[in-house]
Structure formats: structure tokens, C-alpha cells
Amino acid sequence: MTTAASPSRVEIDYTGSERLTMNMGPQHPSAHGVFRAILTLEGEQVVGVDAVIGYLHRCHEKLAETLTYAQYPSIASKTDYVAAMTSEFAYVRAAEMIGKIEVPKRAQYLRVIAAELQRVASHLLWLGTWCLDMGGALGGGATIFLYCIRERELVLDLFESLVGARLLYGFYQVGGVRYDLPPGWPEKCRETVDLIDRRIDEYQRMLEENPFFLVRTQGVGVISRELAQEVGISGPLVRGSGVNFDLRRTDPYSSYEDFDFRVPVETGGDCYARYRVRMVEFRESLQIVRQALDRLPEGPVSSRPGLKSVAQVRIPKGEAYARVEGARGEVGCYLIADGSAKPYRMKWRGASFSNLAVLPHIIPGHKVADVVAIMGSVDPVFGEVDR
């Protein structure tokens, strides 16, 4: 075994028992998307893992060069389709940074509301699918999964009445957001937020008082603080390993400094620590939504006039890297503009892609069943990994 400080791959010495190579994916019930892990097994023990990605590559970055600044945000949502708002956010922020475009306060608050609701929806899906991985489609996991999906639907209903879409939104635009709140939306949002808050308590009791859940997650897939920093993981993973890093706090954007929230940090580094971090994040996100609704200023929702043609938004020559704290970690967008209506070059920094890099370091030495628990706790979305 290597020490955790050097991020070279963990290799387990040959013990003499027969080895078995087993494919997990790209089509497998617990692959979150199309991920292929080639596992080398000795009995139940995993001694090596090769991660193969790229099955969902859709030329997103090249595509960005062919679409205008007005068009691409709707496509950006397709990178991380589980938290679609986040990638739109990063893209429009990059464009605004180059063009030095002011965003009205109301639009900034609406962006925060959408981003935080999106985080809640994404974490709900994570909790459901993670338990599904551990508990089986024909077992207790399915029960939690269906509960979580029920609540996620409520958030999607909110998005639907705001944007008109349930999965890929195109809500963010250079200079602001596309729509103002429809009448009655804040009240509906408050109700939903309160309901989800109560339900999360319920899930937490259901899981944390369940010894089977604890033995499956505690001490499994430990990412040490050193490894976390060297591999470059972000989001709940790095906070579960004792690193206090949250872009909303360390590099505030879009008026995040106005809100009062906690950044949860756990030192365990195991699946359970990551679970705890996300459970606190649920509450903090709901808290931010409440605060934003309370203090929502009046005013325009965009600093730019309404769009008459797709090529109307022109960004001056320049380049910028914008990053936002997505549900899975740091989502970054590097944009080079050449003064036309389309970017010259664009590069994504997907949170899932960087987080996935930690898998070969932590999986060997665990049992087959732990592989799915660890994979689920990393919470990758393959649209964002392969782009």
C-alpha cells in the first residue's frame, strides 16, 4: 500500500489467489451513467481498478465555439444534466467577466435562488441513487429513492413554473436571468422549502438510526486530507475530508456574501462524512433560499435589453475563468472571446471529472460491494465527466 500523501495508484501485492477481471459498466445497474470500471478481484476483494470514461462525449467544448452567447447557456445545462443551472451559471459568469457586464441585484438574487434549489434537487437525487446502490432496487434503498424523487419533483415543479422546463433550463443569460418570478412563486417556494426541510429530518432519522447504513458507510472509502488536496477534488468530497473550501465563501460571487450560511466540514473522509456534509448542505441551501426570498430587491432582472436576435450579445476580446460552487464541486468555465457573437474557445472544468480521479486511489482494498457505495458517494454525473 502506498502512503496517502503520494497520489500514485494503490497497488495490492499479489497474494497468490486466482484473480478475476470483472467489468462494471458501461451498462450496469449501479453505474451512474456510462462509466466503466474494470475491476481486478481476488474473491470479493478489489485489488485493482481501471476507470474508463468517454462514453458520453458530445463535443461540448467545440459546440460552444459554434453557438452564440445567447444560445449556449441552454446547451451548457446538458453538461451536468442533474444540476443544469450550475453550468449555465459558470458560462454566463465567464462571459460577464470578459465583457465587464453588471448584473442587477435582483437578477443576482434570482440566480442564487435557482442555484440553491438546484443544489437541493441534485443532492436529493444523489441521496436516492446512493441508497439505491447500497440497498438494491428491490430493497430498502428503493424506498429512500422513491421518497427522494417525490421531493425532487416538487423542486422541479418550481423550476417548471419559473422557466417552463424541468431538466434543462436556459434560465441564466449574459447580463441577468431570462424570466422574473411569476406571481405566487415565492409563496409556493417557501412552502416547498419548509416541506423539504421536514422531510430531510425524516430521512436523516431513517438512515442514521439504521445500523446497516452505518456499517456500510463508516470507514469506507476514506480520502485523506492530503490525497484530497493533491488529486484536486472539490465540493462535498473535499469538505468531507476536512478541507474548508467552498467557493461561495472563499470567492463569493453573485452576492453570496449577503447571505448567512454555514459551510459544513467533516474530518472523517469516508462515505459517511460525505453524507453528513451533504445533509448539512441541504439545510444551508434551503436557508439561503429563504433569506434570498426575504431580501429580494426590486428592479430589472437583466442589464441587457431583450433579445431580438441570437447574435445580439457581443463580448469584447479577452479571456476569463469563472467558477461557481456546483452541487458536486467547483464548476469552472474558461472562455476566450474574440469580439464576435461567439466565443473563440471554451473549456469546461467539470467537478465530476476531477472528483472521479480519486477513485483509483481509494477503491483497491475494498470489497466489491463497497465499490458501488464509494462511487455513489463521489456522485459523478457523466454528462459532466465526458462533456
Among positions 33, 73, 128, 135, the unique one binding another protein when judged by CB under 8 A:
135
Query: CA-to-CA distance for 175 and 313, rounded, in angstroms?
Result: 10
Find the distance separating the first CA and the last CA of the chain, reported in whole Å. Answer: 33
Best CA proximity match to 169, nearest among 65, 73, 98: 73
Report if residue 212 touches another protein, rule: CB under 8 A: yes
Q: Which three cell numbers stand for residue 78?
A: 446538458
The 3-class SS string of 95-110 reads HHHHHCCCCCHHHHHH
Among positions 63, 81, 143, 230, the unique one binding another protein when judged by CB under 8 A:
143
Choose one: 67-75, 175-183, 210-218, 262-270; the region binding another protein (CB under 8 A).
210-218
Report if residue 1 touches another protein, rule: CB under 8 A: no
Q: How far is the CB of 114 from another protein (least distance, A)?
A: 28
245 and 225 Cβ atoms separated by less than 8 Å: no
Q: How far is the CB of 200 from another protein (least distance, A)?
A: 16
Return the residues of window 52-91 that contact another protein according to CB under 8 A. none
Report if residue 131 touches another protein, rule: CB under 8 A: yes
Nearer to another protein among residue 219 and residue 252 (C-beta): 219
> Which 3 state secondary structure label does DSSP give 42?
strand
Q: How far is the CB of 234 from another protein (least distance, A)?
A: 26
Nearer to another protein among residue 41 and residue 362 (C-beta): 41
Among positions 2, 210, 267, 340, the unique one binding another protein when judged by CB under 8 A:
210
Report if residue 271 touches another protein, rule: CB under 8 A: no
Among positions 7, 30, 189, 364, the unique one binding another protein when judged by CB under 8 A:
30
**Which residue type sits at 201?**
D
Nearer to another protein among residue 126 and residue 147 (C-beta): 147
**Which residue type sits at 387?**
R
Concatenated DSSP letters of 271-332: HHHHHHHHHHHHHHHHHHHHHHHHT---S-SBSSPPPSSTT-----SEEEEEEEE-SSSEEE
Among positions 38, 51, 63, 142, the unique one binding another protein when judged by CB under 8 A:
142
Among positions 28, 78, 199, 249, the unique one binding another protein when judged by CB under 8 A:
28
Report if residue 133 touches another protein, rule: CB under 8 A: yes
| Buried/exposed code over 2-13 (b: 16+ C-beta within 10 A; e: otherwise) | eebeebeebeee
Report if residue 365 touches another protein, rule: CB under 8 A: no
Report if residue 330 touches another protein, rule: CB under 8 A: no
Neighbours of 138 (CB within 10 A): 7
Best CA proximity match to 279, nearest among 126, 69, 168, 106: 126
Q: Which three cell numbers stand for residue 152?
A: 425532487
Q: How far is the CB of 41 from another protein (least distance, A)?
A: 8
Choose one: 156-164, 247-255, 308-316, 361-369; the region binding another protein (CB under 8 A).
361-369
Choose one: 197-205, 213-221, 267-275, 339-347; the region binding another protein (CB under 8 A).
213-221
Cα distances (angstroms) measured from residue 228 to each of 7, 10, 233, 242, 360: 9, 15, 6, 9, 13
Q: Which three cell numbers stand for residue 244?
A: 474548508
Neighbours of 257 (CB within 10 A): 9
Question: Which uninterrupted H or E stretch holds 334?
Answer: strand 330-337
Q: How many residues bind another protein (CB under 8 A)?
A: 36
Nearer to another protein among residue 88 and residue 151 (C-beta): 151
Kindly write out the interface string for residues 162-201 of this chain, putting x where it contacts another protein by CB under 8 A and - elsewhere: ----------------------------------------
Report if residue 150 touches another protein, rule: CB under 8 A: yes
Q: How far is the CB of 340 from another protein (least distance, A)?
A: 48
**Interface contacts to another protein, rule CB under 8 A:** 20, 22, 24, 28-30, 41, 43-44, 131-143, 146-147, 150, 210, 212-213, 215-216, 367-372
